[in-house]
Amino acid sequence: MVNQTSKVTIVPESEIAGLITSQTAFDAVEATFAAMSRRSAYNFPVIREAIGHADALYGFKSGFDRESLALGLKSGGYWPENEVRGLTNHQSTVILFDADTGRVKALVGGNLLTALRTAAASAVSIKYLAPKNARVLGMIGAGHQSAFQMRAAVEHRNFEKVIGWNFHPEMLSRLSETARDLDLPFESVSLADLGEQADVIISITSSFAPLLMDSHVTSSTHIACMGTDTKGKQEVEASLLTRATVFTDEIAQSISIGEAQHAIASNVLKETHINEIGSVINGDHPGRNTDDEITLFDGTGVGLQDLAVARVAVDLAVERGVAREVTF
Ligand code: NAD
């Protein structure tokens, strides 16, 4: 007789904060980027659609990691009217499957995990690419993700100051409060001053036009472009990518939905000039070559990042007795 039932582990959104630290997310994402570069983990094409209801964008990101056996998808999207309902506009859930049998294995709340895995990606780029003596962190963007980005970044260099700019200045309090929590002084500056003074720049906005211009960046810096994850979005001027050594999580996404899409479309950058961050982690690419170089990480956000952190969340939830199990 064939057993048709599966035991499914549920890790609700409310448990994630107690399970996943920024270090846990960092380790999972670093290992995933390395596995992607060894070609033992790969992402499937991204689906993202305007569904013609509630103004929502819905989609899923999926993939498989043959090393960790993480198989599954993150599904969800953006519901702009959620805020008036007292809900987060971004909604996501991760579904994991058993790689040996295809049976559903776990259902994991994906909202906080998304912020943690995105911050972990830019932190990985900072660890491997930022100037060693970086002292000033420049933040472009002050939305939901920005606080997670700042907290993860400061774990990898001895920053002495945070400077920031945002399209909506009234949101800058998020940056100043996060910096205060981290015992760092914060100053709101113009984009030109930010480009001139910051040793590391993180951009995390939903902009559709360049904010940081080529002329703003006057010396060595590392730029983590984290906001551009959709066709049409843009945070930095395309010509800046020609001055920088460019890295990404996944080249296919970088040239289609990432920051590099514009430089590629205008023929100022060739796909062959974009490097995988995983190759730096694996020691196949030296990363930053000189102290006065500009490095740029195009963090497009891949499904494997979501699967990696969700897999760890399931293991920890089971270990600590906070997972719920249902027979399915
Ligand atoms: P949010 O809605 O909380 O904040 C939006 C940010 O963009 C704010 O700083 C806002 O001032 C700024 N902004 C809005 N309109 C702008 C405009 N016209 N010009 C310049 N700036 C503008 O969003 P969030 O959750 O902080 O996400 C920010 C971005 O990061 C989004 O584009 C989101 O899709 C992207 N994101 C990327 C990844 C990834 O893996 N790369 C993961 C999560 C989110």
**Per-residue model confidence as pLDDT tens digits over 160-184:** 999 999 999 999 999 999 999 999 9
Q: How far is the CA of 227 from the centre of ligand 1 (A)?
A: 6
Q: Is the pLDDT of residue 214 over 80?
A: yes
% of the chain beyond a pLDDT of 70: 100
Match 């929502």 to its residue by tokens. 56
Contact between 34 and 128 under an 8 Å Cβ cutoff? The reply is no
Contact between 214 and 242 under an 8 Å Cβ cutoff? The reply is no
The total number of residues written for the chain in this structure: 328
CA distance 317 to 94: 15
pLDDT at res. 211: 98
For the segment 121-157, what is each residue's pLDDT rounded down to a tens digit? 999 999 999 999 999 999 999 999 999 999 999 999 9
For the segment 227-249, what is each residue's pLDDT rounded down to a tens digit? 999 899 999 999 999 999 999 99
- Closest by CA position to 76, among listed 116, 41, 47: 47
H/E stretch holding 302: none
Q: Is the pLDDT of residue 197 over 90?
A: yes
For the segment 76-135, what is each residue's pLDDT rounded down to a tens digit? 999 999 989 999 888 999 999 999 999 999 999 999 999 999 999 999 999 999 999 999
Give the pair of three-digit tokens for residue 168. Answer: 């909506």
| Phi, psi angle pair for 199, to nearest 5° | -85, -25
For the segment 16-41, what is each residue's pLDDT rounded down to a tens digit? 999 999 999 999 999 999 999 999 99
Residue 267: band (very low, low, confident or very high) from pLDDT cuts 50, 70, 90: very high
Contact between 66 and 40 under an 8 Å Cβ cutoff? The reply is yes
Residue 15: band (very low, low, confident or very high) from pLDDT cuts 50, 70, 90: very high
State if residue 227 touches ligand 1 by the CB under 6 angstroms criterion.
Answer: yes
Give the pair of three-digit tokens for residue 181. Answer: 């929590």
Q: Over the chain, what is the mean pLDDT?
A: 96
Q: Is the pLDDT of residue 48 over 70?
A: yes
pLDDT at res. 224: 98
Q: At what angle do helices 111-129 and 144-153 cross, to 10 degrees?
A: 40
- Using CA atoms, how far residue 91 sits from 55, 119, 324, in Å, is 14, 17, 21
Coil, strand or helix at 260: helix
Q: How far is the CA of 203 from the centre of ligand 1 (A)?
A: 9
State if residue 142 touches ligand 1 by the CB under 6 angstroms criterion.
Answer: yes
Residue 194: band (very low, low, confident or very high) from pLDDT cuts 50, 70, 90: very high
Match 């920031």 to its residue by tokens. 164
Output DSSP code: residue 214: G
Q: How far is the CA of 25 from the centre of ligand 1 (A)?
A: 20
Indicate which residues carry an active-site annotation.
74
CA distance 90 to 88: 5
State if residue 125 touches ligand 1 by the CB under 6 angstroms criterion.
Answer: no
State if residue 249 touches ligand 1 by the CB under 6 angstroms criterion.
Answer: no
Q: Is the pLDDT of residue 1 over 80?
A: no
- Closest by CA position to 31, among listed 145, 120, 158, 164: 120
Mutate to test the pocket of ligand 1, among 90, 91, 122, 145 (most ligand atoms within 8 A of CB): 145
pLDDT at res. 88: 87
